[in-house]
């Protein structure tokens, strides 16, 4: 992820906020939870390491332009000395010398002197050693690529593309983390409020049970109606227990996202926005900022670099080189102590290997280009789908609010009628359960709206702005306040 982007978001979130929740703190706002998740989540930490690795790979590619300097040393013990054996020529040379001396060309008085000079030569060993069997050396060599057909430039561009890809992968991980946090943070908010709804059902049915017991004792209702209320009481308690277990499950999931084990209680309420920018606005943002689209675009660029890499195989390779021997042990003087030069390598034929690889690279680039176009269309459709789902949940709230007013009033009417013996216990319990159902639907609609908003912003590549939507003036909180 981009460091400047991360710092900017952290500053915006931290402005005007209390200190982050310390160990043992019970309440946690969404802004605090977001900062905590960005600091502690292992997935984001792994993405940061991936980006750092890509940076080092890009720096390593720069080294391809630099000279390569090596220091080498070796010691060898040969099977025998390297030399020239002329002993088999000695007899012929001696015979030729004696013939010349006896031919009369040389004055007789000089023959003894000359014979005394050449006889020691013929008695010597005519083995000429050029290299002793034991030798060693320490030297160095330098190689500087001058032209490799564009391979070095291609490698550097590919390394920069891979670095940008790592950044986009980090952004994608970050956006997915925000969506995950919204799902679990507001999921815990929903679960806790569902517990409140179930608790109210239990309390209401308990009151109805007490009333039913009194009415049954006075003979105003049948015993079967009391049994029905007792059955519903047991069912309501079971639903309450299930809701509490759901809270524990989601709380554990939220702690996993936050990277902490401290229990927390969300205090930021779910919300519904009265106004929202049009779907075209988010589709345009997705085209510009979606990490997924950016990664596909980078893959296309990388495929194009692959075409250039395969094209470079048709070009000559030129490199300058040089070497010197710093120290030697019994190395013959016939071997030069230094050398410099330029090497050229031109591949004329390799069984059409280069041609086929070049053709394959071009097809790969075209395939990725087609996938890029398809990905752009898919993202646009996804944004529209998420946007419409949000609008659907927002529209549901109006009808749910009307149903909530009716269910609340209907419960009051049924309760009064039951106390007067004009309504059965089943009708009263059904009214109580219907009110709980409407309240749960209202909370669920708000949760689904917030979750779809988070996924919409993720698809648009702007998940970091979710917290700002909570603070919008038209953001209406959706709460369940238990009646006293």
- Residue 447, token pair as written in the block: 């949760």
Contact 106, 114 (CB under 8 A): yes
Q: How far apart are CA 335 and CA 342, in angstroms?
A: 20
Listed as own residue / partner, the contacts of 223-228 with beta carbons closer than 8 Å and 24 or more positions apart are 225/424, 225/425, 225/426, 226/425, 228/425, 228/426, 228/429
- Residue 8: per-residue pLDDT: 38
Q: How far apart are CA 89 and CA 108, in angstroms?
A: 27
- Residue 481: per-residue pLDDT: 54
Sheet with strand 134-147: strands edge to edge: 68-77, 134-147, 317-329, 338-345
Per-block average pLDDT, block size 10, for the chain (484 residues)? 40 39 64 92 92 95 93 92 81 76 74 76 78 92 93 94 96 96 96 92 87 81 83 91 95 91 88 94 96 95 95 93 92 88 92 93 95 95 97 91 89 83 79 90 95 97 94 89 41
HSE of 133 in the Cβ direction (CA atoms, 13 Å)? 5
Q: Which residues partner with 135 through β-bridges?
A: 76
Give φ, ψ of 293 to 5 degrees: -65, -40
- Residue 361, token pair as written in the block: 């690279």
- Residue 12: per-residue pLDDT: 39
Q: How far apart are CA 300 and CA 185, in angstroms?
A: 37
Closest alpha carbon to 316 in 151, 155, 154: 151
Closest alpha carbon to 190 in 423, 3, 421, 440: 440
- Residue 123: per-residue pLDDT: 74
Pairing mode, strands 27-28 and 68-77: unpaired
pLDDT tens string 233-261: 999 999 999 999 999 999 999 999 998 88
Q: How far apart are CA 457 and CA 468, in angstroms?
A: 12
- Tell me how far apart the terminal alpha carbons of the chain are, to the nearest angstrom: 48
Contact 295, 372 (CB under 8 A): no
- Residue 476: per-residue pLDDT: 92
């Amino acid at each position: 992820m981009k460091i400047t982007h991360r710092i900017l978001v952290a500053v915006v979130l931290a402005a005007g906020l209390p200190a982050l929740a310390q160990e043992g703190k019970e309440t946690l706002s969404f802004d605090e939870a977001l900062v905590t998740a960005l600091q502690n989540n292992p997935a984001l930490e792994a993405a940061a390491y991936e980006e750092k690795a890509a940076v080092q790979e890009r720096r390593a590619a720069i080294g391809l332009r630099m000279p390569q300097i090596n220091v080498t040393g070796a010691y060898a013990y040969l099977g025998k000395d390297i030399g020239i054996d002329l002993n088999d020529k000695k007899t012929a040379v001696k015979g030729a010398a004696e013939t010349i001396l006896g031919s009369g060309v040389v004055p007789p008085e000089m023959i003894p002197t000359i014979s005394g000079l050449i006889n020691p030569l013929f008695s010597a060993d005519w083995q000429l050693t050029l290299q002793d069997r034991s030798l060693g050396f320490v030297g160095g060599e330098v190689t500087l690529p001058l032209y490799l057909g564009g391979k070095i430039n291609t490698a550097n561009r590919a390394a920069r593309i891979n670095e940008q890809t790592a950044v986009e992968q980090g952004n994608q991980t970050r956006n997915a983390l925000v969506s995950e946090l919204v799902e679990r943070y507001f999921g815990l908010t929903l679960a806790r409020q569902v517990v409140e709804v179930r608790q109210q059902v239990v309390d209401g049915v308990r009151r109805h049970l007490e009333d039913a017991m009194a009415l049954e004792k006075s003979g105003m209702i049948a015993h079967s109606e009391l049994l029905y209320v007792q059955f519903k009481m047991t069912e309501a308690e079971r639903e309450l227990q299930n809701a509490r277990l759901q809270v524990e499950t989601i709380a554990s999931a939220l702690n996993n996202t936050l990277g902490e084990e401290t229990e927390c209680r969300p205090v930021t309420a779910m919300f519904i926005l009265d106004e929202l920018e049009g779907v075209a606005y988010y589709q345009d943002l997705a085209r510009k900022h979606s990490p997924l689209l950016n990664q596909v675009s980078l893959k296309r660029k990388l495929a194009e670099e692959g075409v250039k890499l395969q094209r470079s195989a048709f070009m000559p390779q030129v490199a300058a080189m040089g070497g010197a021997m710093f120290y030697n042990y019994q190395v013959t003087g016939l071997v030069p102590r230094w050398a410099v030069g330029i090497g050229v390598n031109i591949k004329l034929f390799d069984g059409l290997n280069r041609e086929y690889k070049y053709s394959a690279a071009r097809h790969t680039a075209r395939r990725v280009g087609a996938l890029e176009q398809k990905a752009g269309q898919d993202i646009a459709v996804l944004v529209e789908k998420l946007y419409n789902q949000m609008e659907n949940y927002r529209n549901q709230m109006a009808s749910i609010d009307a149903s909530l007013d009716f269910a609340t009033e209907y419960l009051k009417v049924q309760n009064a009628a039951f106390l007067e013996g004009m309504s059965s216990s089943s009708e009263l319990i059904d009214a109580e359960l219907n009110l709980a159902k409407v309240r749960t639907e209202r909370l669920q609609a708000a949760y689904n709206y917030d979750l779809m908003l988070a996924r919409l912003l993720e698809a648009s590549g702007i998940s970091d702005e979710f917290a700002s939507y909570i603070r919008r003036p038209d953001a209406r909180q959706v709460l369940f306040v238990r009646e006293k």
